[in-house]
């Protein structure tokens, strides 16, 4: 995923069943692809934050934001301004380790990338890496020679930098 072309939309919604379905259905009906979507509760228990990552042009993004804002359970929608937000992604990567030498090499790579080994078996290591998508992609490229057995990525989650907040004021 090229971060420069990626648009990130932050959406505050009511934290109740069916909201995710409504949002994803809007994208399906408009034939827009969601690159990733993360959803979780906010500092207010009745609200959830969705971070939606898409690779679309500005006109399409504006249309998506307008359509999202019309949904009943959506309380606030904003595109995060490029370069003015922090983002992270989590990846769990199970890597094959056929020899002690490869195990040592992988452990060294994990340390360089500030990852953590969260599971060990005789023939594999499971690694947790957190960072930007580019960082995770770089780690995955290094692991290709060892062999990635399984991969799970969370998708991007993000917040605006500094004092700017996307929230509902009471």
Which one-letter DSSP state was computed for residue 5?
A: G
Q: What's the predicted TM-score (pTM) here?
A: 0.83
Tokens 């648009």 appear where?
A: 7
Per-residue pLDDT, 170: 56
Per-residue pLDDT, 58: 85
* pLDDT (tens digit per residue) in 121-136: 999 999 999 999 999 9
In CATH terms, are 3-82 and 86-157 the same topology? yes
Could you state, in order of their start, the residue ranges of all structural domains in the chain? 3-82, 86-157
Which tokens belong to 68? 């999202």
* pLDDT (tens digit per residue) in 111-123: 999 999 999 999 9
Mean pLDDT, the chain, integer:
91
The domain 3-82: what is its CATH number?
A: 3.30.70.260
Q: State how far the Cα of 114 lies from the Cα of 158, in Å rounded to an integer.
A: 20
Tell me what the mean pLDDT of segment 76-93 comes to: 93
H or E segment and range at residue 74 = strand 74-79
| pLDDT over 70 at 2, yes or no | no
* pLDDT (tens digit per residue) in 30-55: 888 899 999 999 999 899 999 999 98
Cα separation values, 163 from 77, 96, 160, 166, Å = 18, 44, 8, 10
Give the residue ranges of DSSP H helices in the chain: 19-29, 58-70, 100-112, 133-143
Percent of the chain at pLDDT exceeding 70: 96
Cβ contact 133:89 at 8 Å: yes
Q: State how far the Cα of 71 lies from the Cα of 53, in Å rounded to an integer.
A: 18
Cα-only R_g, the chain: 19
48 forms beta bridges with 13, 41
Cβ contact 135:156 at 8 Å: no
Q: State how far the Cα of 65 lies from the Cα of 153, in Å rounded to an integer.
A: 25
Per-residue pLDDT, 72: 93
For domain 86-157, the CATH class is alpha beta
Which tokens belong to 136? 């995770």
């Amino acid at each position: 995923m090229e971060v420069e072309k990626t648009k990130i939309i932050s959406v505050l919604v009511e934290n109740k069943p069916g909201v995710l379905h409504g949002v994803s259905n809007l994208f399906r009906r408009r034939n827009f692809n969601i690159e990733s979507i993360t959803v979780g509760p906010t500092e207010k228990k009745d609200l959830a934050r969705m971070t939606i990552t898409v690779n679309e042009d500005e006109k399409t993004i504006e249309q998506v934001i307008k359509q999202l804002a019309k949904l009943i359970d959506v309380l606030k929608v904003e595109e995060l301004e490029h370069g003015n937000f922090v983002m992270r992604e989590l990846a769990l990567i199970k890597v094959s380790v056929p020899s002690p030498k490869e195990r040592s090499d992988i452990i060294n790579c994990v340390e360089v990338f500030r990852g953590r080994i969260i599971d060990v078996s005789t023939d594999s290591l499971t690694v947790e890496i957190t960072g930007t998508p580019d960082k995770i992609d770089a780690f995955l490229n290094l692991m290709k020679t060892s062999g990635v057995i399984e991969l799970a990525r969370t998708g991007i989650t993000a917040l605006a930098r500094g004092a700017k907040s996307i929230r509902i004021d009471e």
